[in-house]
């Protein structure tokens, strides 16, 4: 690793100012009211081992009578505001930590905003580096920490890193080959595996709408460091995403000159790599989370539409691939990053009876960093702190999924039922016609951007469609608590050569005063699987016409209480638009499909003795 020899004590600041952390010119210390009363600010460029410099903003406590730990965020979304006289509205992951006083550091990652170099989409980790030119996010973090420890005089020798979403990936990426001073890391909703379950694809199915909107701003090219990216790739004024993407046609059309053209190299990579090839495999940070000795706090939200998978599977990888590491999981009733908000007391149909975000900040996040970075308080008392939706209760467990949970399997059965054993019939199936020109919408609302509430939305808006199958238990005689991952094993066939399966877990409420199951059908969990990857994500294979085959995949975990009198419902469909791009029902490279390649297909879902389609949960006795 590059130690002190590659660093220079004097850095160029904002073009013409020269300073070190040891002596800061007075003209750079003019601050606005508020945080400036507690902190002074330094903007600097930190050299990496390959010579590239990363723009870094440091907030130093004005009280220099104490030693402070360093708490850092590395981000592709701007470390600003830039300039010594400009302060953000808050420092750190929550206001309490700013009051506790840390040395806060924010850094533009390589190739973004004011940092030099080229930005890679979820930079692949490079183990066993042998030369200075072999760099990744682990080495950039290491070199940054080394510089900070040498140049800041009143630190206590301990560093923490946190980040939400893409910055959450940079937090995870700091763990392999970590700097010895790294003492606490909190990956929050971390981007983890973009082909299997985060952001770009889920089980090989492309999340069209979200990625189009993300790349429209994030994919704007730059010729060098800049404070603000200019505009967007294309100006698309539409109010109905369903209609816009349906009229757009195949995803390859996004590269037309009137839209993205070929201006975003990341978007081009998305479309080029439509299987789990080396491009995606190298970006799976989970495989490198081994030999980790840094305490971690992994945070996620049950209603996180972007990276619920990332939080759960990062925790799981750390747990399974390491022994004795302090690894804590927190899952709350949050959308993407909502735990960092000032107030989160309800979502959709659910009222939580408390401010869940301040509970997390005050009772979990601040004590975590205070303990491991300052030696204040005690270590987390439980390994898993999870919110139980449906009952609105926080639960604590010694592990996740809970050790005391039991396996519970529901089998799809004829006449739209869910039973505890396979149907006795020798041959039985339910079928529907999946029409790419009339795909099932993911939400009832017509709007431009994603409706976050779709993750708890009442599914009655699609229940009567002929291309949606529903399988339901009778009214529950007691409470049913389902926890942990959801395993789907579906036997299906298609009259085409490919298909998508969307499996939804639903809490069907009774009507007022009745238990006939005609009440609200609130979504608890849903996931998509692109059928051609049923045998291998790397080597897809076509279906043979009307030949049943098994599709097995895992939905993200749940922790939900179904109340007495409610029903557990499973819905199955083959489109989820425009959240997910349309499957043409033909075995082909979808980004290269033409409008004529999209054809209707009959999808059959089998539920008989030989082909017992099922959904497996873990359950807890209330």
Q: pLDDT value at position 28?
A: 30
Q: Are 579 and 466 in contact (CB under 8 A)?
A: no
pLDDT value at position 335? 98
Helices (H) and strands (E) in the chain, counts: 11, 27
Helix (H) or strand (E) holding 37: none
Locate the DSSP E strands across 228-305.
Answer: 296-301
Cα gap 558→525, rounded to integer Å: 7
| Topology, domain 406-620 | Jelly Rolls (2.60.120)
- Beta-bridge mates of residue 522: 458, 507
Grade residue 622 by pLDDT with cuts at 50, 70 and 90.
Answer: low
pLDDT band at 84 (very low <50, low <70, confident <90, very high): confident
| pLDDT recorded at residue 9 | 28
Largest Cα–Cα separation, the chain? 84
C-alpha 462/C-alpha 379 separation (Å) is: 47
- For 505, the 3-state DSSP assignment is strand
pLDDT in tens, 97-134: 998 899 999 999 999 999 999 999 999 999 999 999 99
Residue 14 in this model has a pLDDT that exceeds 50: no
Whether the Cβ atoms of residue 186 and residue 161 lie closer than 8 Å to each other: yes
| pLDDT for the residue 236 | 84
Asked if residues 277 and 160 have their Cβ atoms less than 8 Å apart, the reply is no
Determine contact, residues 364/327, Cβ cutoff 8 Å: no
Under the banding of pLDDT at 50, 70 and 90, the label for residue 60 is very high
Residue range 444-457, pLDDT digits in tens: 999 999 999 999 99
533 backbone dihedrals φ, ψ, rounded to 5°: -100, 15
Average pLDDT in the 206-215 region?
Answer: 97
Residue 404 CB neighbour total at 10 angstroms = 12
Q: What is the dihedral of CA 53, 168, 72, 84, to 10 degrees?
A: 60
Domain 4-193+283-397: homologous superfamily in CATH:
Alpha/Beta hydrolase fold, catalytic domain (3.40.50.1820)
* Element holding 520 (H helix, E strand): none
Q: Are 517 and 475 in contact (CB under 8 A)?
A: yes
Q: 406-620: same fold as 4-193+283-397? A: no
| Tens of pLDDT, residues 547-564 | 999 999 999 999 999 999
Tokens 């404070």 locate to 227
Q: Which residues of 31-55 are buried (b: 16+ CB within 10 A; e: fewer)?
A: beeebbebbbbbbbbbbbbbebbbb
Domain ranges of the chain: 4-193+283-397, 406-620
Output the pLDDT for position 1: 37
> Can you give the pLDDT at residue 415?
85
What confidence score (pLDDT) does residue 25 get?
29
Backbone phi and psi for residue 317, each to the nearest 5 degrees, phi listed first: -65, -45
Average pLDDT across the chain, whole number:
92
Report CA 578 to chain centroid distance, whole Å: 19
CA distances from 404 to 399, 400, 479, 560, 620 (A): 10, 10, 16, 16, 7
Residue 598, phi then psi, degrees to nearest 5: -90, 115
Interatomic CA distance for residues 24 and 102, integer angstroms:
19
What pLDDT does 354 receive?
96
Q: Angle 131-137-143 (CA atoms, 0-180°, nearest 5)?
A: 65
pLDDT mean over 15-39:
45
Question: Binning pLDDT at 50, 70 and 90, where does residue 199 land?
Answer: very high
| Residue spans of alpha helices (H) in 94-237 | 95-100, 137-151, 166-173, 208-218
Calculate what percentage of the chain has a pLDDT beyond 90.
89
End-to-end CA distance of the chain: 52
Burial of 216 (0-12, 13-18, 19+ CB in 10 A): buried
For 188-235, the three-class secondary structure string (H helix, E strand, C coil) is ECCCCCCCCCCCCEECCEECHHHHHHHHHHHCCCCCCCCCCCCCCCCC
pLDDT digits (tens, 9 = 90+) for 474-516: 999 999 999 999 999 999 999 999 999 999 999 999 986 555 5
> What pLDDT, in 10s, does the model give residues 366-425?
999 999 999 999 999 999 999 999 999 999 999 999 999 999 999 999 888 999 999 998
Q: For 136-155, write each residue's pLDDT tens digit.
A: 999 999 999 999 999 999 99
Average pLDDT over residues 250-264: 95
């Amino acid at each position: 690793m590059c130690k002190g020899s590659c660093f220079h004590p004097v850095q160029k600041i904002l073009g013409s100012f020269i300073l070190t952390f040891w002596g800061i010119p007075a003209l750079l210390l003019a601050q606005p009211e508020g945080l400036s009363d507690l902190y002074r600010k330094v903007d600097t460029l930190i050299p990496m081992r390959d010579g590239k410099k990363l723009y870094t903003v440091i907030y130093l406590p004005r009280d220099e009578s104490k030693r402070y730990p360093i708490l850092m965020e590395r981000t592709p979304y701007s470390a600003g505001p830039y300039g010594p006289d400009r302060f953000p509205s808050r420092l750190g992951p929550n206001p309490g930590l700013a009051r506790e006083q840390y040395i806060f550091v924010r850094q533009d990652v390589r190739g973004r905003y004011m940092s030099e170099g080229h930005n890679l989409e979820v930079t692949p980790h490079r183990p066993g580096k042998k030369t200075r030119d072999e760099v990744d996010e682990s080495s950039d973090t290491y070199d940054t920490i080394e510089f900070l420890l040498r140049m800041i005089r009143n630190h206590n020798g301990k560093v923490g890193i946190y980040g939400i979403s893409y910055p959450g990936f940079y937090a995870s990426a700091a763990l392999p080959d970590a700097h010895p001073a790294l003492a606490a890391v909190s990956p929050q909703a971390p981007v983890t595996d973009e082909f299997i379950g985060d952001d770009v694809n889920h089980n090989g199915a492309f999340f069209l709408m979200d990625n189009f909107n993300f790349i429209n701003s994030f994919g704007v090219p730059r010729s060098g460091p800049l404070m603000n990216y200019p505009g967007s790739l294309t100006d698309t004024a539409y109010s109905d995403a369903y209609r816009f993407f349906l009229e757009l046609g195949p995803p390859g059309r996004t590269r037309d000159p009137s839209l993205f053209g070929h201006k975003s190299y990341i978007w081009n990579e998305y479309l080029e790599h439509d299987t789990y090839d080396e491009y995606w495999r190298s970006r799976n940070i989970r495989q490198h989370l081994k030999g980790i000795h840094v305490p971690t706090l992994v945070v996620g939200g049950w209603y996180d539409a972007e990276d619920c998978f990332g939080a759960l599977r990062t925790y799981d990888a750390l747990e399974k691939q390491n022994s004795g590491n302090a690894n804590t999981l927190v899952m709350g009733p949050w959308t993407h990053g909502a735990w960092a908000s000032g107030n989160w007391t309800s979502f959709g149909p659910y009222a939580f009876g408390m401010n869940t975000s301040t509970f997390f900040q005050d009772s979990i996040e601040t004590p975590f960093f205070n303990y491991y970075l300052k030696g204040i308080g005690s270590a987390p008392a439980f390994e898993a702190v999870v919110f139980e939706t449906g009952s609105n209760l926080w639960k604590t467990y010694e592990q996740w999924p809970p050790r005391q949970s039991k396996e519970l399997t529901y089998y799809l059965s004829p006449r739209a039922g869910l039973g505890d054993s396979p149907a006795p019939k020798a041959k039985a199936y339910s079928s529907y016609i999946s029409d790419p020109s009339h795909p099932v919408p993911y939400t009832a609302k017509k709007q431009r951007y994603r409706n976050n509430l779709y993750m708890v939305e009442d599914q009655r808006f699609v229940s009567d469609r002929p291309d949606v199958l529903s399988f339901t238990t009778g009214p529950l005689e007691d409470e049913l608590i389902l926890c942990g991952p959801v395993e789907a094993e579906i036997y299906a066939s298609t009259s085409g050569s490919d298909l998508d399966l969307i499996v939804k877990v639903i809490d069907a409420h009774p009507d007022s005063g009745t238990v006939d199951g005609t009440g609200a059908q609130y979504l608890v969990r849903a996931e998509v699987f692109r059928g051609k990857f049923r045998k291998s994500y790397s080597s897809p294979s076509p279906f043979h016409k009307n030949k049943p085959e098994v599709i097995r995949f895992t939905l993200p975990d749940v922790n939900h209480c179904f109340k007495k009198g409610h029903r557990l419902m499973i819905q199955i469909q083959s489109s989820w638009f425009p959240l997910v791009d349309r499957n043409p029902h033909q075995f082909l490279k979808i980004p290269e499909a033409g409008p004529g390649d999209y054809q209707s297909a009959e999808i059959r879902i089998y539920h008989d003795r030989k082909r017992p389609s099922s959904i497996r949960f873990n359950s807890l006795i209330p």
